[in-house]
Structure 1
Amino acid sequence: MAAAVLAACGGADETGGDEAGEAEAEEDRPEYTVATDTNYVPFEFLNTETGEMEGFDIDLIHAIADRVGFDINLETVEFDGIVSGMGTGRYDIGIAGMTITEERAENFDFSDPYYDAGLILAVRADEEEIQSVDDVDGRPVATRAATTSYDYLEENTDAQIQTFPDIVNAYQDLTAGRVDAVIYDLPNVLYYIETEALGDMKTVGDTLTGEQYGIAFPSGSELTEQVNEALAEMMEDGSYGDIYEEWFGERPSNEE
């Protein structure tokens, strides 16, 4: 009986020690400020019913944080503010469906690509004259400020470019007839057409440019390599595919 009591006491102490160690480990986890967009469905958006940010990017960065071992202080910012903030080192991490470009890579670091995207042109459902981006010269075309969509229009067309801080406003101006077309990232355009436009919009022409999204870090951040390792593990073990399927309804095409 004495041996049993001693064993029981010893077990309680060991368990308590384990719990204390786990609590201490939790307290030692660093916290990083993660800047994300305010409204880029289905990558990041505010669920108005719960008041919580949701989306593919949100789930992805939380899963990465769990693997690397850090906590997240999520900060919502307009997209152009994220781009400028990463360049000044204001944020530790930026995830916002951000296309990897040479210009941006000169000002801050990117993770390995985590999503293949491209640009697409959208018009009203009854539009017949605009069949591709070749037909927008001289016409009012909307897009989001400080994006690769704006750069594409400026470099490849003579369109009358109108910019918006929120792409939803651009879509609304299109359906209201205030602009003739919108150019933006393919997944967001398709999502809006399917869930909000309800027959008022359609895409025309081919997907423009081959683009890839990356997670942003201040230049020289030690987090870049750690996040790349976690991202590679998730793509290897299928957990990335699970998150992808939840938000896009299918497994990624490059998944073995």
Structure 2
Amino acid sequence: MKGITASFLAAAIMVVGGSLATTAYAQDPYTVGVEASFPPWAYVEAGEFKGIAIDAMEAIAEEAGIEIEFQDMPFPSLIPALAAEKIDILATGLTVTEERSKNIDFTIPWWETNDVVLVPEDSDLNVFSAVCCGSRVGVQGGSSQQAWMEENVVDGSDIEIELAKYDNYVTAVDDMAIGRISSVIVDDTSAQEYINAGKPVKMAGKIYIRAPLALAVSKNDPQQILGDLNQGILAIYESGEWGEIVGEYIPGVSVPSIPGHMPDFVDTYQKPVAGLPELGNE
């Protein structure tokens, strides 16, 4: 009986007189889902996870005093896995959308991006001709870019195009280089990374403006970590560490202020915001 009691006490510690209760379950590493083929946000190099989201997530975890472990998954699997609580946190270049906010909860925005049309560097296509008139356009399956194209171009007009859906954008860009598709719709941060890496591509133009990016947790925050993540994001921004991380992967880029634009449709952005009650939309 003493062994059972000792085991129990080791597994669950209550701070008397306070509100903090720490259990062995809560001390397990939080599983952070990433798409490790999405530079500069997350990728693998020499067997190690690297990227803006990776380094920032590690800094936020240190700030919050939590342990994390990364799990690489194809992007189309990430949001369903988070919604089903198979992972605890989603850390990538994740666009905040109203549809997604119905199934997962977002932290405060930590980036803003525009979607752009990528074409081969020797192409004479412009932002309009690249996505019309029988074009075959590459998008990432399950992405906000796919949703925007389907709503505004495929279903919302008489323009005839075919969407080619990929597990990751690297493959889409490579396919475009050999003529399998005519263009790729991607966020401008990733597009610049491909150009910096020497891919034979160029930006034909922007198609979407001011899309906020954020981390995400399962709906209703079952692990109660949203507040810690929000505080951690703001802390590494105010300390300058966030700017250093971004600058390492995208030299010379202007870092947007945090929190970024907070859309009214996201319930976790309404006052009080978890961990940062002074922020949020009225």
Partner of 2:8: none
Q: More displaced, 209-218 or 105-114?
A: 209-218
Partner of 2:211: 211
| Rounded Cα–Cα distance in structure 2 between residues aligned with 1:249 and 1:183 | 23
Amino acid at match of 1:214: A
- Indicate whether 1:111 and 2:107 are aligned: yes
Partner of 1:140: 136
1:118–1:86 Cα change, 3 Å: same
CA drift of 1:196 comes to 3.4
- Indicate whether 1:66 and 2:62 are aligned: yes
| Rounded Cα–Cα distance in structure 2 between residues aligned with 1:90 and 1:141 | 32
| Rounded Cα–Cα distance in structure 2 between residues aligned with 1:149 and 1:251 | 22
Amino acid at match of 2:30: Y
Partner of 1:236: 238
Q: Secondary structure in 2 aligned to 1:196?
A: coil
Partner of 1:171: 173
Q: More displaced, 55-64 or 227-236?
A: 227-236
1:195 to 185, 194, 197: 197
Q: Secondary structure in 1 aligned to 2:197?
A: helix
Partner of 2:119: 123
Q: Secondary structure in 2 aligned to 1:161?
A: strand
| Rounded Cα–Cα distance in structure 1 between residues aligned with 2:63 and 2:69 | 16
- Taking structure 2 as the reference length, the TM-score comes to 0.75
Q: Is the 8 A contact 1:244 1:252 kept in 2?
A: no
CA drift of 1:175 comes to 0.9
Q: Is the 8 A contact 1:241 1:255 kept in 2?
A: no
CA drift of 1:253 comes to 3.9
Consecutive unaligned residues in structure 1, runs of 5 or more: 1-24
Q: Which runs of 4+ in 1 moved over 6 A?
A: none
Q: More displaced, 239-248 or 131-140?
A: 131-140
CA RMSD of aligned residues (A): 2.0
CA drift of 1:244 comes to 1.6
CA drift of 1:154 comes to 1.2
| Rounded Cα–Cα distance in structure 1 between residues aligned with 2:34 and 2:42 | 7
CA drift of 1:30 comes to 4.0
| Rounded Cα–Cα distance in structure 2 between residues aligned with 1:241 and 1:253 | 6
CA drift of 1:206 comes to 2.7
Q: How many residues are paired up?
A: 226
- Taking structure 1 as the reference length, the TM-score comes to 0.82
Partner of 2:268: none
Q: Is the 8 A contact 1:123 1:203 kept in 2?
A: yes
Larger Rg: 1
Q: Is the 8 A contact 1:113 1:212 kept in 2?
A: yes
Q: Is the 8 A contact 1:174 1:180 kept in 2?
A: yes
| Rounded Cα–Cα distance in structure 2 between residues aligned with 1:203 and 1:109 | 32
Deviations 1:76-104 (A, max 9, x none): 10111111111111111110111111111
Partner of 1:32: 30
| Rounded Cα–Cα distance in structure 1 between residues aligned with 2:203 and 2:151 | 21
Deviations 1:126-178 (A, max 9, x none): 222x2113552221111111001111221222321111112111111111011
Q: How does 1:220-231 map to 2 (within 5 A)?
A: 220-221=220-221, 222-231=224-233
- Indicate whether 1:84 and 2:97 are aligned: no
